[in-house]
Structure 1
C-alpha cells in the first residue's frame, strides 16, 4: 500500500527518496526536518528509498490519488539520477500523482521526453508561502501540465494574487502553519483574514479550493480543540468550510472519490 497520511487532500503518499535542502521561507519549520531530526537522521541528506518503497505504485491495483515526494522535492537536483525511473512508474500506473515543488525553475529540464502537453495523470503544483514566492506561479504558467495547482501552505503572509496568476491554476490548497508549542520546530502567525482574502480572490474565478487547516496560531487564538493544526473543518468559520477538488473528484466524510 501507499503510505497512509493525515494530509486531507490526498489518498496517500509515495516517497521514492527522502531528504531535502531548505531553499525559502516556507522551509523554516519543515515537518520532514522535524521528523527526521527526531529519528536521528540528517534531513538534508537526500537518499533513495528501498526497492520495495520505490516501486510500490506498480503493485497497487486500485487507482489512488498520490502525493509524490511528501518528504522531499520531486525536482531536487540530488535526485536527478533516480527521477527517470519514477517517470516510467508514473506513466505505467493508473494512479493520479500530485507533484508539489518549491523548485519550478528546474521542472522543464527534468521532464521526460514524451511529456508533451503533460501526462494525464500528473498534477503539477508549486508552493507559495508569501507574496515574495508568487513568482512560482508565473513559472508554472510556462510549463505544460494537464492539471496545475498551488499550495498556499504554510501561509505566513498576506498574498495578493493577480487575475493572471489565478487563471494559471486548476486548484488551490490553503493552510496556516502547524508546529510544536515548544522546541525548535514551532509555527508562525497566520491571520484568518489572509485565508479569507485568498478564498475570495480564487472564488471570483471559480477555482476549486481546499482549505486544509487554519494552523496552530489561529487554533490557539480561537481556542480550537485541534490546537496542533486547526485542521478540523467543523471548527472552521462556515465561509471557510471549503474542500473542493479539480477534475470531478469529490471529498465526502474525509474520503476522496476518484
Structure 2
C-alpha cells in the first residue's frame, strides 16, 4: 500500500479495506489473492484468509497526509462495495476523498449494484451527502464544503472481462453520478462491444477505457483482436484509451524475438497466435504503439504521460 505501485494507470494505492470474494471469471486468478500470501508477514494480513473482509479505520487518513497530488487507486486489495463493508464505512471513505481535494481517487468495482444502491447515490436532494458530511465532521472535525451529485476528484469504474460482464455492470455505472466513469477490461477474456454502453463521448457516458491481458502463473491469453477492437471503438468515439499490458501472453510482433515457449493459435488463427513470454517481455505496445490516454477531467496537474506532477 502506498506510492510504490506497479499499476500503470495510477500513482498510488490506498487500502482501507482488505479481503474479497470472487464473483465472475475475471476473478479466477485474482492478483490480490496471489499477493495475499506474500503479505502474510504484515499484521493486517497475518493469519487471515483472502475471503476475510476487514475494514481498517487506521488507514483512513493516509491520503490526507500525502502532500504531493496523486492519482490513487482505492482498494487494490479488495472491493469498496463488497457486501461485508458497511454503508457507514463507505461513507467514511468518501469523506476522506471529499477532504483530500488535491488527489484523484480511482474507484473500481465488480459490484456496481451495491454502489448504485448506496445512500450516497440513491438519495436525492439535501440527503445525498448527509452521511459523508457527518463522517468528515465525526472523524476529522472538518466540514468538506459544498458537494454536488458527484465529487469532482472521484472516478468511478467497473471491471468487465467479457460481454456478459459489460452488459451487467456498465448500465449500473452509467446510472451512478460520477465526475468520470471508466471501465477496466482486465483481464480481457473475450471480445466486448461497447456500442450500447455509453461509448459515444459526452455527459453521462464512458470517459475512459483501460485494457489489459492477464498476468500470473495461470494467466489466460488475450486475443489481439479483442484489444484492437476496443482501441478502435474508443478512437471512433473520441474516448481516451489506455493499453495497460499484454500480460503473460503476447504476439510475436510485441516482443520481436524468437521464443520457444507455449503457443496459443486459437484453433488455427496463426496470424493472431500468441506465445507465453512473461509480462515484462510482452510489454505495453499494441501494434507497436503505446496507448496512454487519460480522461481530460482532472482537478490536479499531470504531465504529458498522465502522471501527477
TM-score bin (small chain): 0.7 to 0.9
Q: Name the residue aligned to 1:195.
A: 227
Query: How far off its partner does 1:252 sit?
Result: 4.4
- Of residues 42, 45, 52, the one that matches 1:45 is 52
1:64 aligns with 2:70: yes
Over residues 135-162 of structure 1, what are the superposed CA-to-partner deviations in whole Å (9 max), with x where a residue is unaligned? 2111111111111001111101111221
DSSP 3-state at the match of 2:3: coil
1:102 aligns with 2:135: no
Q: 1:231 to 1:9 in 2, by over 3 A?
A: farther
Over residues 148-201 of structure 1, what are the superposed CA-to-partner deviations in whole Å (9 max), with x where a residue is unaligned? 001111101111221543132100100011112xxxxx1112011110011111
Q: Name the residue aligned to 2:195.
A: 162
DSSP 3-state at the match of 1:166: coil
Q: How many residues align?
A: 249
Over residues 73-118 of structure 1, what are the superposed CA-to-partner deviations in whole Å (9 max), with x where a residue is unaligned? 0111111142221111111112110000000011123253326421
For residues 16-165 of structure 1, the aligned pairs below 5 Å read 16-40=16-40, 41-49=48-56, 51=58, 53-80=59-86, 81-94=88-101, 95-112=103-120, 113-114=128-129, 116-135=148-167, 136-165=169-198
Q: Name the residue aligned to 2:295.
A: 246
Query: How far off its partner does 1:5 sit?
Result: 0.4
Runs of 4+ in 1 over 4 A off after TM superposition: 219-226, 248-253
Contact 1:123 1:145 in 2 (8 A): yes
The alignment's TM-score, normalised by the length of structure 2, stands at: 0.74
Contact 2:224 2:251 in 1 (8 A): no
With 140-149 and 162-171 compared, the bigger mean Cα shift is at 162-171
Q: 1:27 to 1:119 in 2, by over 3 A?
A: same
CA distance in 2, matches of 1:66, 1:218: 28
Contact 1:123 1:147 in 2 (8 A): yes
Between structure 1 and structure 2, the one with the greater Rg is: 2
The alignment's TM-score, normalised by the length of structure 1, stands at: 0.87
The unaligned stretches of length 5 or more in structure 2 are: 41-47, 121-127, 130-146, 258-276
Contact 2:255 2:281 in 1 (8 A): no
The unaligned stretches of length 5 or more in structure 1 are: 181-185
Q: 1:37 to 1:47 in 2, by over 3 A?
A: same
Query: How far off its partner does 1:14 sit?
Result: 0.4
Q: Name the residue aligned to 1:183.
A: none
RMSD in angstroms over aligned alpha carbons? Answer: 2.4
Query: How far off its partner does 1:223 sit?
Result: 5.0
CA distance in 1, matches of 2:111, 2:281: 28
Q: Name the residue aligned to 1:178.
A: 215
CA distance in 2, matches of 1:149, 1:2: 22
